[in-house]
Amino acid sequence: MPTTTEQVLTEEEQQAHFDALIEADQRIEPRDWMPEKYRKTLIRQISQHAHSEIIGMQPEANWITRAPSLKRKAILIAKVQDEAGHGLYLYSAAQTLGISREEMTDALIEGRARYSSIFNYHTPSWADMGAIGWLVDGAAICNQVPLCRASYGPYGRAMVRICKEESFHQRQGFEILYELSHGTPEQKQMAQESVNRWYWPSLMMFGPSDDASPNSAQSMAWKIKRFSNDELRQRFVGMCVPQFEALGLECPDKDLRYDEETGKWILGEIDWDEFNAILDGRGPANTDRIRNRRDAHEEGAWVREAAVEYARKQRERQRFAA
Ligand code: FAQ
């Protein structure tokens, strides 16, 4: 229902009001007028993010039954449950923009929606639980801390809680790798082998380089994104370098060096062909991920039907009581 103020404002005036709110670093809320492209961009990014959290449960869920101790199993279950919670906060945030949960779910299970490239790799080794926590959650934190200040209120607020939980995830991953890299030579080798596989894909999580990123400029002007893909990738690499040392592991990027003059890290070549193949659905685990999600959705149909029936009965009871 439009407010009285909205009824008397022209489209130009509404746009000017929106621009002024963005300029002043104020939040846009669901009740506010917003340009259609802003709304669509948010739906795109938030729903992709939500899908990533939900699909992102699969690589680690693979190790819940085989975690090496009860403590590790409890931590891993808690982490995977946290990711489900993140997905739900984010779906709720997207719903405030006028898209339904069903529409988003259908797009995912029909293979029409994107989710993070990183979750299309398999997890053959226990050390992968360490590398995912350290590198994948570490990259997620780098990318997501600035999103706590995203101009759209429900997204920014969801990100605050998510980031707190991601910090715990990152610490537990680092700790798994630390124990392995300070264990037997075989354990150290296992940690190194896993980090070798996850390092480059974790750099790809930040998206294409700035000159190949069609959405960045507008998203930054709208203060959805606060930093570019390359800026965040730089920040992440800078964070990893001393941590590689603490772990006693080698960084797989043999060309990595710090350029004192520009204050930037010079990275080796990222394999963008691999990244693009994953985005096209041709990554190592794309098919499994979508199939598993579709099966889980179908198997959960009875829960959704029961919830609808329960809500109907509650309404009926209230009608009789009135
Ligand atoms: N994977 O123009 P840009 C997690 C697509 S963390 C797949 O640069 P944008 C935690 C992009 O969508 C992972 N697709 O796009 C966790 C666009 O396609 P479209 C999730 C990618 O949006 C840890 C096209 O390429 N985090 O889940 C990727 O400005 C452990 C052009 O790219 C977020 O989603 C990629 N890596 O910047 C869970 C963070 N990169 O839609 C479980 C929020 C790009 O035009 C276990 N999202 N694309 O067809 C963002 O910050 C941004 O959306 C970026 C991409 C930075 C991902």
Assign 43 to helix, strand or coil.
Answer: helix
Q: For residue 222, is it within any domain?
A: yes
Mean pLDDT of 48-72: 97
pLDDT band at 8 (very low <50, low <70, confident <90, very high): confident
Mean pLDDT of 86-113: 97
> Would you state the pLDDT for residue 322?
79
Q: For residue 154, is it within any domain?
A: yes
The answer to whether the CB of 126 is under 6 A from ligand 1 is no
- Structural domain harbouring 174: 11-271
Closest CA to 41 of 181, 207, 166, 220: 220
Q: For residue 295, is it within any domain?
A: no
pLDDT band at 1 (very low <50, low <70, confident <90, very high): very low
Alpha carbon of 188 to ligand 1 centroid (Å)? 32
pLDDT value at 3 more than 90: no
> Would you state the pLDDT for residue 10?
92
> Would you state the pLDDT for residue 291?
98
pLDDT value at 205 more than 50: yes
Interatomic CA distance for residues 98 and 228, integer angstroms:
27
* Count of the separate structural domains present in the chain: 1
Q: For residue 147, is it within any domain?
A: yes
The answer to whether the CB of 229 is under 6 A from ligand 1 is yes
Q: For residue 192, is it within any domain?
A: yes
What CATH number corresponds to the domain at position 36?
Answer: 1.20.1260.10
The stretches of the chain forming alpha helices (DSSP H) are 4-8, 11-23, 36-55, 57-61, 70-95, 101-109, 127-131, 137-144, 153-181, 185-204, 216-221, 229-247, 272-279, 286-299, 301-321
Q: For residue 142, is it within any domain?
A: yes
Mean pLDDT of 291-300: 97
pLDDT value at 5 more than 80: no
> Would you state the pLDDT for residue 236?
98
Please check whether residue 206 is in contact with residue 229, taking contact to mean a CB–CB distance below 8 angstroms. yes
Residue nearest to atom 8 of ligand 1 (CA): 213
Q: For residue 289, is it within any domain?
A: no
Give the pLDDT confidence of 211-270 residue by residue, as tens digits. Answer: 999 999 999 999 999 999 999 999 999 999 999 999 999 999 999 999 999 999 999 999
Please check whether residue 181 is in contact with residue 195, taking contact to mean a CB–CB distance below 8 angstroms. no
Mean pLDDT of 149-153: 98
Measured at the alpha carbon of residue 148, what is the angle toward residues 144 and 151, in degrees to the nearest 5?
115
Mean pLDDT of 272-296: 98
Q: For residue 157, is it within any domain?
A: yes
Closest CA to 135 of 164, 159, 169: 169
Residue nearest to atom 25 of ligand 1 (CA): 207
Alpha carbon of 213 to ligand 1 centroid (Å)? 11
pLDDT band at 134 (very low <50, low <70, confident <90, very high): very high
Query: Which atom of ligand 1 lies closest to the CA of 207?
Result: 40
pLDDT band at 7 (very low <50, low <70, confident <90, very high): low
Mutate to test the pocket of ligand 1, among 161, 168, 215, 276 (most ligand atoms within 8 A of CB): 215
